[in-house]
Structure formats: structure tokens, C-alpha cells
Amino acid sequence: MKISILGAGSMGSGIAQVAAQSGHDVVLADTNQAQLETAKAKLAKIMARLVEKGKLTEEQASSIQGKIAYTTDQNDFAGSGMIIEAIVENLDIKKKVFANFESIVDEHCILATNTSSLSVASIAAACEHDHRVIGIHFFNPAPLMPLVEIIPAVQTSTEVTNKSKELIDSWKKVTVLAKDTPGFIVNRVARPFYGEALRIYEEGVADFATIDWAMTELGGFRMGPFTLMDYIGNDVNYTVTETVFAAFYYDPRYKPSFTQKRHSEAGWYGRKSGRGYYSYADGAEMPEPNKDEVLGQVILNRVLVMLINEAIDAVFLNIASEEDVDLAMTKGVNYPKGLLTWANEIGLQNVLSALEKLHHDYGEDRYRPSVLLRRMVAEGKTFF
């Protein structure tokens, strides 16, 4: 099957690599010729490194590179079995692009968007054959991150959903099915990892370094929230938070932080700008955390019960199955264990008690426990 990809940025070029390594002929298109040349050069470097490490032979590397055609002309998408769009997160632009796809390919070609936060149904609405539009959300970098969220719109046919899942499974990816709601699974469930950590800082409970230490050393997370936000970029992370907040009709659970807004406004994006919550200037020293385990456990538990509550609510609202929620968080953002599995270990009653105390102390709907959590505690149930 011929796979075509629109957008030669890091995401689009990464998806092109994955498809080519899985044996497909690939067309990678971008309006920017320089971007295409950059993508081609980067792939050559990646392939050379894989040969050096003995993971590929020179012949295999050469074959993979030869499978990708680079073009500025979307008409080269003709004859594709699937097109994956990986361009700017702008609904109007995406709708124009998808309407144009239909004039190039036949009605059996699956049209996929790699959007991380926009409505797949809205994108599908731009197409005459809206049943063949679907969300296929890769995580960056696509060749290394195992998770792919498959998001059927309300218009998407079961056949297209099944075919898409089978195809991405054949690329040796871990696929999860998610409902077409803001943030899908990962970007929705992960919001408290950032939001509650920022809230803890704003209340003066602990500084950035101490919160990061608690989450990594005591919680087992690969990166602390402030290190991770600096890695992602505070401009990007804040925009996603703002988008999710608005998309959920301003539910206080997803409320953005003024601290992150001010960092973004100041141009303190993180690693890419040389300064974020930490300084990345040459010779800059990372601040020392307060390694008080009692304090650290308080911080960790507060963020953790918020994450668990979000995961439980995703199951309650049929965003995804219990299994897919846990898979998404371990394979998509490298959590040390699935949040529902973690909830079982902590004890659902303990999770509920912690949330009820926060809800009582703050009087904010932000801390309301999920209805499903209340029901499971009342009925003595656990997940799985």
C-alpha cells in the first residue's frame, strides 16, 4: 500500500520513516522545499546511525531511504491507500487540506489526521466521503514512541477504523482506541501532571526542583513535570492546556496556570529558548531540591490522585477501555505503571478519601471525585 504524508516536520518525517521501515512506498509532501531537504538529510543521519549500531545493514538502510519520495506537489498522492496529515494545529487549514485530498485520491483511500487536540468530526465534515476520515495520533518522536491513538469520528465507518488499526498494528505500534473528545486519552489524562504541580508551586508548598525530585525519585516518573514542560516547550504545553480548557467548556479541572502563562509570555519556553523553569545557559547549575521524603510524598500523592481521578473519569465517560487507558499512559508518556493499576495498589478508598479531603479543603470543583470512583468504592470493586 502506498502511504502519503503531508507535513515534513519532525512528526511527518518520523511517520514517513516508520511507514518506509514497514515496507511501504511513501510520499512525503510539504510546501516548503527546504523542509523536505532537511527531512531527507535527517533520515540519512538516522539510517547511518542505525547501520553503525548494527541494527540495519547498509542495503536495508538504502532501501528504506529509497522508499520515500519527497515532493511539494500533493497531486503525487494519487493512488495512495492512506494519507496522514501532520501539519499545523489549525482547524480551518486542515479542513481545506482534507477537502483537497478528495480531488486527488479515490474514495477508498483512508484520510487520517495526526491532530493531538482538534475535533476529528470537524475535519471529517469537510469531506464528501466523511466515513473514511479518522484520527491517527502518533507521539513524538514517531519512530521511537510505541503508542498510537486511533480516533474514529462519529462519521467514521467501522471498516475504516478496523483497517486503520490493523495497518498501524502491522507497523509494530501499540494502538489504543479513543473517543473523539478533547485531548483523546493521553493529553486529557495527563493534564494534572502539569496543572497540579503548577498549583502546588503557586501555593508555595515547594519549588520546581523539589516537585520534580518527588515525582521522579519517589514516584518513579521518568521526568518531573517542570523538566518535562521545559522539554516540550512552555508555549506548546500552555496552548494545549488552554485548548483543552476551552474545549471542556471551562471545566475547572483543566484550568491553565498563570505561572506557565507568564513563562510563555516572557519567552521562557524551556530548553529551546535557553530558559524555562530552569536555566539551560552554559555553565548554569540546576537548583538543589529539598529531599524531605515526608514533604515529597505529600506532593506526589496529591498529583497522583488527580491523575488517577482523570483516568477513572475517562473510563466512566467511555473515552477508552480500562486496558487502553493504562496502555496509553505507560506507552505514550512512559508512566511507571498504569494509573488504574496504581489505583488498585493504593486502594480505591484511599484515592477517594484523598480527593474528598482536597475537595473539602478547597471547595473547588477541580477536586471532585469521579462518579465511577464513588460507585466502585461503594460496591467494593477494583479495576480489571
Which of 80, 114, 116, 257 is labelled catalytic? 116
Among 13, 137, 196, 310, the active-site one is 137
C-alpha cell at 147: 503508542
Cross-strand bridge partners of residue 279: 275
Return the beta strands (E) in 281-342 as ranges: none
Q: Which three cell numbers stand for residue 272?
A: 529551546
Best CA proximity match to 185, nearest among 135, 149, 235: 149
CA distance 330 to 292: 27
Instruction: Give helix 58-66 / helix 10-21 axis angle, nearest 10°.
Output: 120
Of 271, 280, 332, the residue nearest 116 (C-alpha):
332
Annotated active-site residue 116? The verdict is yes
Residue 170: active-site member: no
Residue 25, helix vs strand vs coil: strand
For 364, list phi and psi in degrees, rounded to 5. Answer: -110, 140
Known catalytic membership, residue 149 = yes
Determine which one of 13, 85, 114, 149 is catalytic: 149
Q: Which residue has the cell 473528545?
A: 181
Query: What's at 312, amino acid-wise?
Result: I
CA distance 32 to 162: 34
Q: Which of 13, 22, 119, 187 is catalytic?
A: 187
Please confirm, yes or no, whether 345 is among the known catalytic residues: no
Residues annotated as catalytic (active site), given as ranges: 116, 137, 149, 187
